[in-house]
């Protein structure tokens, strides 16, 4: 990964650093602006816009060579997501790539480290990235 664009693919790619195990499509949730309520029933909508959305996916180190290697990959991912504004390109199988303008993201362990992933160095990591709600198709 580099500090330019962040690329996440949902298809086999021998060059990937971490494997994506699940991906949640970002929600397009409207936020409605209402006039101040008076003595009448209900509210009057004045306008609306989409709220910030979230790119959410889980990753793991498919190679699992060592704990140090896995931690270095997670540290690199965390550094890549720790930027004020950057593009994230999402490509799932044969669909057109979609690019999202993103804010600083977070990487946390999905669950407790158990004896299996401690031996195999393959914990699952949840990645959440706040994103501008309207994607662009490349």
**Of 2, 8, 3, residue with least CA distance to 83:** 3
The CATH number of 6-23+50-137, from 2.60.120, 3.30.70, 3.90.198, 2.40.30, is 2.40.30
User: Could you read off the pLDDT tens digit of each residue along the chain, which spans 138 residues?
Assistant: 344 555 554 445 445 578 888 899 899 999 999 998 777 788 889 999 999 999 999 988 877 678 888 888 889 899 989 999 889 888 888 888 889 999 999 999 998 888 877 777 778 899 999 999 998 865
Q: Which residues pair with 127 in a beta bridge?
A: 57, 107
Cβ-contact 1, 17 below 8 angstroms: yes
Class of residue 56 by CB neighbours under 10 A (exposed 0-12, middle 13-18, buried 19+): middle
- Listed by start position, the domains of the chain span 6-23+50-137
């Amino acid at each position: 990964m580099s500090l330019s664009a962040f690329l996440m693919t949902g298809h086999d790619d021998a060059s990937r650093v971490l494997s994506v195990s699940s991906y949640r499509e970002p929600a397009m949730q409207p936020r409605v602006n209402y006039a101040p309520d008076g003595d009448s029933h209900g509210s009057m909508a004045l306008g609306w816009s989409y709220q910030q959305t979230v790119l959410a996916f889980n990753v793991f180190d498919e190679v699992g060579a060592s704990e140090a290697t896995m931690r270095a990959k997670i540290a690199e991912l965390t550094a890549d997501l720790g930027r004020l504004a950057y593009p994230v390109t999402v490509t799932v199988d044969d669909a057109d790539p979609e690019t999202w303008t993103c804010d600083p993201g977070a990487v946390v362990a999905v669950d407790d480290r158990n004896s299996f992933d401690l031996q195999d160095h393959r914990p699952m990591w949840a990645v959440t990235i706040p994103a501008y709600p309207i994607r662009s198709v490349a």
